[in-house]
């Protein structure tokens, strides 16, 4: 037996309120999840840079170099990295480097440059210096380099 428009069920205000609350809850959940996803969209790259600076802070330059090259087993094949050898890395990031010994650091944030790009610029405050460090994290392989883009705090 089919029902017609004239035989529609009686309006239930309690059911309508429950439905409205459910829709509002779903909309809020989607908005919150969207905001969190946007806020932490570069979480992996920021974590890699944080691990890099943590290794530097611990004076573990070999592990830091492995993070820089995204190759923890780099000592097994150092010939793969002739463009930026461990010795050059140590000169840049060791005690005599531009940043000196790393006593403190804070990952301030990250951004993809305008026009897109294959990586993410991660900005870090090092030793409470006014000038931040800017590192480029290549998305494809998680290698680090110095950022080609200028950064202002």
pTM reported for the whole predicted model: 0.82
d(CA 34, CA 25): 14
pLDDT tens for 21-46 read 999 999 999 999 999 999 889 999 99
Q: Residue 147: phi, psi to the nearest 5?
A: -65, 135
What pLDDT shows up at residue 5? 67
Whether the pLDDT of residue 121 is over 90: the answer is: yes
The answer for 133, left when phi > 0, alpha when psi is -120 to 50, beta otherwise, is beta
Computed over every residue of the chain, the mean pLDDT equals 92
What pLDDT shows up at residue 1? 55
What pLDDT shows up at residue 101? 95
Q: What is the DSSP string of the chain?
A: ----GGGPPPP-HHHHHHHHHHHHHHHHHHHHHHHHHHHTTTHHHHHHHHHHHHHHHTT-HHHHHHHHTT-TTGGG-GGG--SS-HHHHHHHHSTTSTT-S---EEEEEEEPPTT--SEEEEEEEETT-SSPEEEEEETTT--EEE-SS----
């Amino acid at each position: 037996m089919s029902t017609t428009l004239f035989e529609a069920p009686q309006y239930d205000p309690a059911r309508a309120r429950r439905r409205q609350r459910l829709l509002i809850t779903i909309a809020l959940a989607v908005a919150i999840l969207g905001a969190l996803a946007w806020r932490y969209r570069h979480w992996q790259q920021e974590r890699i840079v944080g691990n890099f600076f943590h290794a530097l802070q611990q004076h573990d330059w070999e592990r830091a170099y492995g993070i820089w090259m995204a190759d923890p087993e780099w000592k097994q094949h150092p010939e793969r990295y002739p463009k930026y050898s461990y010795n050059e890395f140590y000169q840049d990031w060791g005690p005599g480097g531009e940043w000196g010994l790393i006593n403190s650091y804070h990952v301030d944030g990250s951004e993809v440059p305008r026009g897109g790009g294959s990586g993410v610029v991660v900005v870090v405050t090092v030793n409470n210096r006014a000038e931040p460090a800017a590192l480029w994290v290549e998305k494809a392989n998680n290698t680090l380099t110095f950022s080609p883009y200028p950064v202002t705090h």
